[in-house]
Structure 1
Amino acid sequence: MLGGKSYILRGSVSLALVILILFMITLLVSEDNPLHTSLFDVKRQFTASSSSSSVCNFAKGRWVKDRNRPLYSGFECKQWLSTMWSCRVMGRPDFSFEGYRWQPQGCNTPNFDRFTFFNRMQNKTIAFIGDSLGRQQFQSLMCMATGGEESPEVQNVGWEYGLVKPKGAIRPDGWAYRFPTTNTTILYYWSASLSDLVPMNNTDPPHLTAMHLDRPPAFMRNYLHRFDVLVLNTGHHWNRGKIEGNHWVMHVNGTQVEGEFLKDIKDAKDFTIRSVAKWLDAQLPLHPRLKAFFRTISPRHFRNGDWNTGGNCNNTVPLSRGSEITGDDYGSVDTAVESSVNGTRIKILDVTALSELRDEAHISGSKLKPRKPKKVSNVTSTTPIVNDCLHWCLPGIPDTWNELFIAQI
């Protein structure tokens, strides 16, 4: 009888310990202090959630506070990060926007760990092809991969891809860097429209360029066999002002577009996105190791005007538009990209709706000014306020794009 009581007592103590441990785990796992999630945990969670009523949806979820943000220092990542996008260097006084992470619906994204990242990306090449928002995502990944630290061992291999600055140019058409320890290459190529641009035979200015809407950029065609991961994007250069300012002349089937055919810029953009997706999908069986993503458009938040009239987005209050994207509808705000990749082997990297909530994280604002104004004689000269409600502060929202992108590789 005594032995029975002892057995019951030990069982009660064991049960109490289990309850206590579960209680401690509940306290530890909170929105502000999530437990570390590995890349393999994400795969297990995705598989488990897919078999249940709740399916992992990276495009739906909520922004939550995370005291482990930012992922790198905006002061230190000068080797890769453009000064104009480094809001700390530019003197922005408020950085509350840096302290949030995206919590997807139905699963968790991994905490980014650069050593795990390089282990998975050993002997692989990641390519970003797109506009300046693609360049921001590229710079974000370079800062994440290096921890924002100076990395003299990283090799500039742009010459291997023809990415060298032409004589008289401001910058090359892109950059390519290799991490020698794991033979990992990360590159970016500027292609604002994802169409093939070919100079036309005209000697008098303005020098026109044929914009072949049904042909992907020559760079992509020439180097696709060297890529292991590809991320495409386009969108904000598809307006009459940009096209006319660049002297681009639309062509389809090798001839100039005339009359009403594709006269609407949106139709031309959608046609090009479909053409690129169709071409890339046809190429993927020839490159079985290649994983391709098409990122949806990054939202802009102009107020009191637009890009041309000097609108601003100087809100500094995080999540004033809300913190959550909910619903069972899996449709993307960017219907052009979504419809073009549906039924293909290309994955959609849907960042539009979740980025729409973060209007406070752009580089625009009345408080965004240089730290040390230049003095000319006795007159203080200040740089004009940046009215840019399109590009993002880094560290910032493009870091989240990369986390979602890496979780789906």
Structure 2
Amino acid sequence: MANEEVWLSLTLVASAEMKTRTTYSLGWKHIYMVLIVLILMAALVRIGRQGSSLSSTMPSSQDPFTESSQSEHDRLMESSPSREDQFIESPSSAEDQFTDPSPSAQDDVSMSENPEPEGTFEVNNSDAIMTEETKDEEPNFDLPLPIDPAMPSPSRKDDSDVENITYSSKSEPQECNYAKGKWVADSRRPLYSGFSCKRWLPSAWACRLTHRTDFSYEGYRWEPIDCPMPEFERFSFLSKMQDKTIAFIGDSLGRQQFHSLMCMATGGEDSPDVEDVGSEYGFLKRSRGIRPDGWAYRFPSTNTTILFYWSSTLCRLERINNSNPDSSLALHLDRVPSFLTKFLHRFHVLVLNTAQHWIKAKFIANGWIMHVNRKPIKEGILMDMTNVKNYTVHRIVKWLDSQLPLHPGLKAFFRTRSPRHLDKTGFCNNTIPLTRGSEVFQEVSSDKVVETAIKGTRVKILDITALSELRDEAHKSQYHIFSTSAYHDCLHWCLPGIPDTWNELLVAQL
């Protein structure tokens, strides 16, 4: 519009100029000049109209490439998550949400434990332990993790065991599920005699030496559905484990598995050539101790070592007052046993377990005071023993997973909970095999604590819970060497027995 007004003004000026030139009778030179001016004005009007048309087709004051560039950017942002989203979705960072709680940041929770008062206590060299077990409480799994993920992680400046750790979420795919299968009768069982394996088998668990008269529980083997399980052969096993060390660390059920493997590897024979190498690992009976902290034996023919170390909670225990041998013990939930950090580099197979000792009454009787970040826990979510156990299992698995890249020759397993069988009267009198069924079809473990903890790690699961649930007749029960008793041991197993199967599953996964 502005160009048209200019053109009109110039036209009027030119017309006036022509009149003036005509009036004064000027020459042709002036007429030519006027025509040139008119042509120039027409060109300006044409250019102005084209510019007006172009400006109407795109937003004002905007680069013509801006809109298409922004659209492409939006499409890229929609198809690719931000760096923050990628970090949150990674398994390793999700695992890091399971943090070690600082006592000052713990949330208050209601006290839910109601332990059963129980049994006799023993004083061990490193742990004060109880010989009679109480029923294990199952945790609440409504939340992905039992510990509040909002809790900050404590400083690790003073803990050489866990500082500067990089956690990984990679794990090898499990080829077959050995826990899914069935019990089948096998006349070739047991793998060794309960009469002859006296050097390696405590008499309290050798049910052949007790007043029990029915031993049908010995005549079954476990047959996995998904894959064949090779028949255990002791010489082949020792050859496979040449120059290797197998370590069991845990409670009395872990000790049963250790004694079972010793009987299996020796065929129940005395085997005088087997060496006691407990002194290499500090397994010496100390003053006031009723037994050493563990046992270690070596087969010279293959240089195979099998050992057990007692650690019922898989936590580090330290005496609060070293000058007083009767003082309480600090049980560090966020620190692994010193034995494990000291000898881990010597192990080729490691089997951990903890389950039966997470009872408030046992902690009180043993003088254990729970610590996190080197400070006693006085309030908050870890006052609930269910959370304490779950936290500790996750903690030890997380630490072990961080150590495996440093020990490429090590295979680590966490064994699931061994079931306890009590009928309505509080006894376990059944002697008939497989009254609870003979098959396990479930794909997941019955021990959710361990299954959740090892998920996304290099630590493997030794899942024995469901298959052992079917064998309530195989417990030690009321039978003892000299007589029967009113007390029924419905937790520990007769040997030979169910722990032999645990070891068969272990060897199959090696």
**Interval containing the TM-score (normalised by the shorter chain):** 0.7 to 0.9
Corresponding pairs, count: 338
**Equivalent residue, structure 2, for 1:397:** 498
**Equivalent residue, structure 2, for 1:334:** 447
Task: Report the TM-score, using the length of structure 2 for normalisation.
Answer: 0.65
Determine the C-alpha separation between the residues in 1 that align with 2:485 and 2:451: 38
**Bigger Cα displacement from structure 2, 393-402 vs 236-245:** 236-245
Q: Quick check: 2:211–2:484 contact (8 Å CA) kept in 1?
A: no
Which residue type is aligned with residue 255 of structure 2?
Answer: R
**Equivalent residue, structure 1, for 2:485:** 384
Write out per-residue CA displacement over residues 259-313 of structure 1, whole angstroms, 9 at most, x where no aligned residue. Answer: 12301101000100011001000000000000000000000002235xxxxx320
**Equivalent residue, structure 2, for 1:406:** 507
**Equivalent residue, structure 2, for 1:348:** 461
Determine the C-alpha separation between the residues in 2 that align with 1:243 and 1:149: 39
**Does the alignment pair 1:312 with 2:427?**
yes
Q: Quick check: 1:206–1:247 contact (8 Å CA) kept in 2?
A: no
Which residue type is aligned with residue 337 of structure 1?
Answer: V
Q: 1:303 to 1:206 in 2, by over 3 A?
A: farther
1:128 alignment partner, SS class: strand
**Equivalent residue, structure 1, for 2:165:** none
**Does the alignment pair 1:194 with 2:314?**
yes
Deviation at 1:104, TM superposition (A): 0.7
**Equivalent residue, structure 2, for 1:291:** 411
- Summarize the alignment of residues 69-108 of structure 1 with structure 2, pairs less than 5 Å apart: 69-108=189-228
Deviation at 1:157, TM superposition (A): 0.4
2:209 alignment partner, SS class: coil
Q: Quick check: 1:369–1:385 contact (8 Å CA) kept in 2?
A: no
Write out per-residue CA displacement over residues 352-390 of structure 1, whole angstroms, 9 at most, x where no aligned residue. Answer: 00000000000003xx243xx5xxxxxxxx563441000
Which residue type is aligned with residue 166 of structure 1?
Answer: R
Determine the C-alpha separation between the residues in 1 that align with 2:233 and 2:362: 39
**Does the alignment pair 1:262 with 2:382?**
yes
**Does the alignment pair 1:251 with 2:355?**
no
**Equivalent residue, structure 2, for 1:147:** 267
Q: Which runs of 5+ in 1 are unaligned?
A: 1-49, 306-310, 374-381
Q: Quick check: 1:364–1:385 contact (8 Å CA) kept in 2?
A: no
Determine the C-alpha separation between the residues in 2 that align with 1:241 and 1:227: 34
Determine the C-alpha separation between the residues in 1 that align with 2:236 and 2:225: 24
Task: Report the TM-score, using the length of structure 1 for normalisation.
Answer: 0.80
Question: Percent identical across equivalent pairs?
Answer: 60
2:336 alignment partner, SS class: coil
Determine the C-alpha separation between the residues in 1 that align with 2:509 and 2:227: 12
**Does the alignment pair 1:357 with 2:477?**
no
Determine the C-alpha separation between the residues in 2 that align with 1:196 and 1:144: 31
Determine the C-alpha separation between the residues in 1 that align with 2:465 and 2:344: 26
Q: Quick check: 2:204–2:480 contact (8 Å CA) kept in 1?
A: no
Q: Quick check: 2:316–2:337 contact (8 Å CA) kept in 1?
A: yes
Which residue type is aligned with residue 345 of structure 2?
Answer: H
**Equivalent residue, structure 2, for 1:376:** none
1:73 alignment partner, SS class: coil
Which residue type is aligned with residue 406 of structure 1?
Answer: V
**Bigger Cα displacement from structure 2, 87-96 vs 382-391:** 382-391
Determine the C-alpha separation between the residues in 1 that align with 2:491 and 2:370: 25
Determine the C-alpha separation between the residues in 2 that align with 1:119 and 1:206: 46
Deviation at 1:56, TM superposition (A): 2.7
Determine the C-alpha separation between the residues in 1 that align with 2:480 and 2:251: 25
Which residue type is aligned with residue 352 of structure 1?
Answer: T
**Bigger Cα displacement from structure 2, 318-327 vs 136-145:** 318-327
Determine the C-alpha separation between the residues in 2 that align with 1:204 and 1:402: 41
**Equivalent residue, structure 1, for 2:258:** 138
**Equivalent residue, structure 2, for 1:170:** 290
Q: Which runs of 5+ in 2 are unaligned?
A: 1-172
Which residue type is aligned with residue 472 of structure 2?
Answer: D
Q: Quick check: 1:202–1:208 contact (8 Å CA) kept in 2?
A: no
Which residue type is aligned with residue 397 of structure 1?
Answer: I
**Does the alignment pair 1:181 with 2:301?**
yes
Q: Quick check: 1:127–1:231 contact (8 Å CA) kept in 2?
A: yes
Determine the C-alpha separation between the residues in 2 that align with 1:129 and 1:170: 19
Write out per-residue CA displacement over residues 133-178 of structure 1, whole angstroms, 9 at most, x where no aligned residue. Answer: 0000000000000000111111000000001111231100100000
**Equivalent residue, structure 2, for 1:123:** 243
Deviation at 1:242, TM superposition (A): 1.2
**Equivalent residue, structure 2, for 1:239:** 359
Deviation at 1:244, TM superposition (A): 1.0
Determine the C-alpha separation between the residues in 2 that align with 1:94 and 1:385: 19
- Summarize the alignment of residues 17-96 of structure 1 with structure 2, pairs less than 5 Å apart: 56-96=176-216
1:394 alignment partner, SS class: coil
Q: 1:205 to 1:140 in 2, by over 3 A?
A: closer
**Equivalent residue, structure 2, for 1:275:** 395
Q: 1:232 to 1:202 in 2, by over 3 A?
A: same
Deviation at 1:207, TM superposition (A): 1.9
Q: Quick check: 1:212–1:254 contact (8 Å CA) kept in 2?
A: yes
**Equivalent residue, structure 2, for 1:110:** 230
Q: Quick check: 1:230–1:293 contact (8 Å CA) kept in 2?
A: yes
Deviation at 1:84, TM superposition (A): 0.6
**Equivalent residue, structure 1, for 2:96:** none
2:224 alignment partner, SS class: strand
Determine the C-alpha separation between the residues in 2 that align with 1:406 and 1:222: 25
**Equivalent residue, structure 2, for 1:39:** none
Determine the C-alpha separation between the residues in 1 that align with 2:294 and 2:325: 26
1:171 alignment partner, SS class: coil
In our comparison, the structure showing a higher alpha carbon Rg is: 2
Which residue type is aligned with residue 299 of structure 2?
Answer: F
Q: 1:134 to 1:369 in 2, by over 3 A?
A: closer
Write out per-residue CA displacement over residues 308-333 of structure 1, whole angstroms, 9 at most, x where no aligned residue. Answer: xxx32010010000001114xx2211
Q: Quick check: 1:312–1:387 contact (8 Å CA) kept in 2?
A: yes
Determine the C-alpha separation between the residues in 1 that align with 2:291 and 2:424: 33
1:262 alignment partner, SS class: helix
Please provide the CA RMSD for this pair: 1.6
Write out per-residue CA displacement over residues 11-49 of structure 1, whole angstroms, 9 at most, x where no aligned residue. Answer: xxxxxxxxxxxxxxxxxxxxxxxxxxxxxxxxxxxxxxx
2:305 alignment partner, SS class: strand
